[in-house]
Amino acid sequence: VTNKTPTVVLIGTGKVAFHLSTAFKQAGIKIVQVFGRQSDKAEALSKISGATFVTEIHKLQDDADLYLVAVLDQAVAEIAGLMPRTRGIVAHTSGFVDAEVFKPYFDNYGVCYPLQTFTADRQLDYRDIPFLIEGSSMKTELALSSLASKISSSVTLANSDLRSKMHLAAVFACNFPNYMHIIAHEIVHETGLPFELLHPLMLETASKAVSMVPEAAQTGPAARHDMSTIEAHLNLIKRMGLKHEEVYALITEKIIEKYNKPNKQ
Amino acid sequence: VTNKTPTVVLIGTGKVAFHLSTAFKQAGIKIVQVFGRQSDKAEALSKISGATFVTEIHKLQDDADLYLVAVLDQAVAEIAGLMPRTRGIVAHTSGFVDAEVFKPYFDNYGVCYPLQTFTADRQLDYRDIPFLIEGSSMKTELALSSLASKISSSVTLANSDLRSKMHLAAVFACNFPNYMHIIAHEIVHETGLPFELLHPLMLETASKAVSMVPEAAQTGPAARHDMSTIEAHLNLIKRMGLKHEEVYALITEKIIEKYNKPNKQ
């Protein structure tokens, strides 16, 4: 990778690959080739950047500066073994796959992990997406950081151990809150009232946790150890025939433990 | 309550009372008197509106149009019993206390429940706060709705049964996601990386659940039934000496059940 804009090959046609190719296009970075097993998806993605596409992995060109492997975690190792050998940098985009997965096959490798939740057809401001970068050498790390900096204003070096912890944290910051929203949605649906009534609360909850810290933002019956409301909520869940008692009980217990230790014997 | 601006007495000096008095002031609604047991708090709150304040409940005036009881759930019944009898409307602001708590003491009563999480010293756009209204008569309901409409653009009638369900939903929409954020914060703290790296993810998670629906927004290892990542996360939690295995395991199990039923025997 020199000072000129690097040439990039994109491997994968999922949500991350789609958003990265859009982000690259916006940043003026040239994707030269796209690989995907399904030709319709590979073709669609290649059109975003005016790249060529291949559906057989051995047909990938071997002279690009960077190969971004944006596939499911469990497919990264297989892809690495099937790709042509190259002197370019090979990097995956996973939060949880070790960078060393590439070691048997490549001299220059690393990770370029966008710490965000991606959905097809949803616009994102790519400048806001934090990228966690790891490289097999300082030179590789610099090249990957430089590339990520063209897309995002938040680029951080993090080895595979740190990255896996951030990935775990992301499950608690995103996937689990969303499941709580699903339960809230189900309960509101039972009332016949519009789910929109909860929207300001959901947005304010995230906004508070960001502008204060979540420890200071905790409210509700469990935080104030209000056992009569907690009992009434559990009875209501049963009465409504919902299957969320266990989740309510466990999280409530944990919040009580955290905020009310002095009250316990 | 006539067409002229109603006179309001505010009972309570907590976060909800504080925010309501600020909202009333912005809306040009006159609070004439504030009650609070602690004179410093009652005085501070009375100053926002230029109201008088009392620290003994029997000293409350009996001729206001509306008495707003913004106290802890468990204190509403006691306050109701101690207040002077009045022909005005007496309404509490709780999500979970039945409106009938006022029936033994007053002719005109109801509920004015702001569906939001309140924190001292945090600015809120009161127009966005949904109010759930209930009244002992249509006239009372109209008066309370009319008052709430002066503050907020979202006013909905809901009886105590519906309101208690919305209150339960709010726990899942706010308190439980916030606890997930607390765990995420704890994990990030262990890495030494800044918590700010998770901010865009937390905000996007709420934003997605609002603009799509949360069922369509679910991502992560559990939603894709990725057992090897789930096992690795559980091991990582143990290895880090954190006490969140049970929460991780239960929510993951529930998400798998929801999204992967066809895979199960």
Q: In one letter, which amino acid is B145?
A: S
Which of A72, A176, A238 is the mutation pick for testing B, counting most B CBs within 10 A?
A176
First to last CA, chain A: 63
* Mean of pLDDT values over B51-69: 96
| Residue partners of A95: CB distance under 8 A and separation at least 6 | A113, A115, A132, A163, A164, A166, A167, A170
Closest in B116, B168, B207 to A200, CB measured: B116
pLDDT, residue A3, reads: 57
d(CA A245, CA A220) in angstroms, rounded, equals 17
At A118, is the secondary structure helix, strand, or coil? coil
In chain A, at which residue ranges do the beta strands (DSSP E only) sit? Answer: 8-11, 31-35, 52-54, 66-69, 89-92, 109-114, 131-135, 155-157
Residue with tokens 């990265």: A20
- Of the pLDDT bands very low, low, confident and very high (cuts 50, 70, 90), residue B238 is very high
Place of tokens 């944990």: A254
Q: Judge: A178–B218 Cβ closer than 8 Å, yes or no.
A: yes
Query: Cβ atoms within 10 A of the Cβ of A200, count?
Result: 24
Q: Residue A5 pLDDT more than 60?
A: yes
Q: What is the pLDDT of residues A113-128, one digit of tens each?
A: 999 999 888 888 999 9
Arithmetic mean of pLDDT over chain A:
94
Residues of B in contact with A178 (CB under 8 A): 205, 208-209, 214, 217-219
Tokens representing residue A28 in the block: 């003026």
pLDDT at B265: 38
pLDDT for res A6: 86
The answer, yes or no, to whether residue B234 has pLDDT greater than 90, is yes
Does the CB of A169 have a partner CB in chain B at under 8 Å? yes
Predicted local confidence at residue B143, as pLDDT: 96
Share of chain A above pLDDT 90, in %: 91
Q: Give the pLDDT of residue B49.
A: 82
pLDDT, residue B24, reads 92
Q: Is the CB of B171 inside 8 Å of chain A's CB atoms?
A: yes
Q: In angstroms, rounded to a whole number, what is the distance separating the alpha carbons of residues A17 and A15?
A: 5
- The answer on pLDDT for A2 being more than 60 is no
Q: Which pLDDT band holds residue B83 (cuts at 50, 70, 90)?
A: very high
Query: Angle at the Cα of A37 (from B219 to A77), degrees rounded to 5?
Result: 65
Instruction: Indicate if the pLDDT at residue A179 is higher than 50.
Output: yes
Q: Which of B63, B131, B74, B76 is nearest to B102 (CA)?
A: B76
Helix (H, G, I), strand (E, B) or coil at B135: strand
pTM over 0.95: no
- C-alpha dist (Å) from residue B236 to A2, A168, B185, B187, B248: 38, 8, 16, 10, 11
Closest to A259 measured CA to CA, from A220, A211, A232, A207: A220
Phi-psi region of B54 (alpha: psi -120 to 50; beta: other; left: phi over 0): beta
Q: How far apart are the first and last CA of chain B?
A: 63
Number of Cβ pairs closer than 8 Å across A and B? 314
pLDDT tens-place string over residues B147-166: 999 999 999 999 999 999 99
Of chain A, the percentage scoring pLDDT greater than 70 comes to: 97
pLDDT digits 0-9 by tens, A31-77: 999 999 999 999 999 998 889 999 999 999 999 999 999 999 999 99
CB contact under 8 A, A74 and B188: no
Banded pLDDT at B3 (limits 50, 70, 90): low
Residue B34 pLDDT > 70, yes or no?
yes
pLDDT for A262 = 55
Residue A19 backbone phi and psi in degrees, to 5: -70, -35
Note whether B203 contacts A210, CB cutoff 8 Å: yes
Neighbours of B123 (CB within 10 A): 8
